Amino acid sequence: MAELTQPATVLSITDLTPHVRQLVPLAKTRKILFQPGQWVSLQLPVGIKPPLNRAYSIAEPPSPAGQLTLVFDRVPNGIGSSYLYGLKPGDELLLSGPYGNFLLPLSLDRELLLVSRYTGLVPIHCMLKHLAASGALPQSTLIAVGPAGDELLYHDELFALAAQHPSFRYTPVAVNGTDQEIVEAVLKLLRPLVTGRSKVMPLLSGVKGFVRPLRAYLMEAGYDRKEVKTETYD
């Protein structure tokens, strides 16, 4: 059954970094019940043939009031993200969802290995906050890449989470370069977590140029395709 497309009101807008913005819409017709890792589709009144459909992962776990927290970077010349950057509190959006299968494994019986590039961290942030709030944060390592130190999303929060939970390791990486250079920087950190050790549960999120080579590496290291969960943004 098709998900209901409904209007939503923008409650607030906050800049999280110089190039990443948070927008909080509240659906007007029906509360959106979602699982951490899922996304909503926005139908934006722009582009050659509107509406322009753009997917955004939900950044915070479900709240009693039902608002959604979306977080996005401004893509140079990106039609959708530029439109979102022009929105103000009180404006309306059309959205539907939730969608997606990038979800936490049902059984958290192995170490979680979470790897993200830039706003690819959004669904993983939602999962981590959900696990921490439910008192069930398992042994987990997060490698989060951003293009600069001041573009490391949720940096202070994740740093604090790691200080509170010895089971959670946070490894931020500020690197600006080609896809290949960024993947190489991550592989340096990934190899010791994967080789010669019992299997972990990998979740990878970001653009394809980042996610695909890392998934290929894990498969060469003996992981089955189904054991590597991925979310790709482009």
Contact positions toward ligand FAD, by CB under 6 A?
Answer: 39, 54-57, 71-73, 75, 78-81, 100, 119, 122, 207, 231, 233-234
CA 46, 13, 19, 118 torsion-angle sign: negative
Give me the least distance between CB of 110 and ligand FAD, in Å please. Answer: 25
| Choice between 46 and 221, CB closer to ligand FAD | 46
Give me the least distance between CB of 75 and ligand FAD, in Å please. Answer: 4
Alpha helices in the chain, H assignment, sequence order: 79-85, 121-133, 155-164, 179-194, 208-220
Give me the least distance between CB of 143 and ligand FAD, in Å please. Answer: 18
Q: Which residue has the tokens 């951490």?
A: 36
Give me the least distance between CB of 90 and ligand FAD, in Å please. Answer: 22
| Choice between 58 and 113, CB closer to ligand FAD | 58
| Choice between 57 and 67, CB closer to ligand FAD | 57
Cα Rg of the chain (Å, integer): 18
Q: Cα separation of 159 and 134, whole Å?
A: 19
In order, the DSSP letters of 45-76 are: S-SSSSPEEEEEEB-S---TT----EEEE--T
Q: Which residue is nearest to ligand FAD (CB)?
A: 78
Q: Residue 144 in contact with residue 152, Cβ under 8 Å?
A: yes
Q: Cα separation of 93 and 87, whole Å?
A: 9
Give me the least distance between CB of 124 and ligand FAD, in Å please. Answer: 10
| Choice between 25 and 80, CB closer to ligand FAD | 80
Q: Do β-strands 20-27 and 6-17 pair in parallel, antiparallel, or remain unpaired?
A: antiparallel
Q: Residue 174 in contact with residue 147, Cβ under 8 Å?
A: yes
Give me the least distance between CB of 150 and ligand FAD, in Å please. Answer: 17
| Choice between 100 and 172, CB closer to ligand FAD | 100
| Choice between 79 and 189, CB closer to ligand FAD | 79
Which residues contact residue 167 at a Cβ distance below 8 angstroms, ignoring those fewer than 6 apart?
A: 137, 138, 139, 140
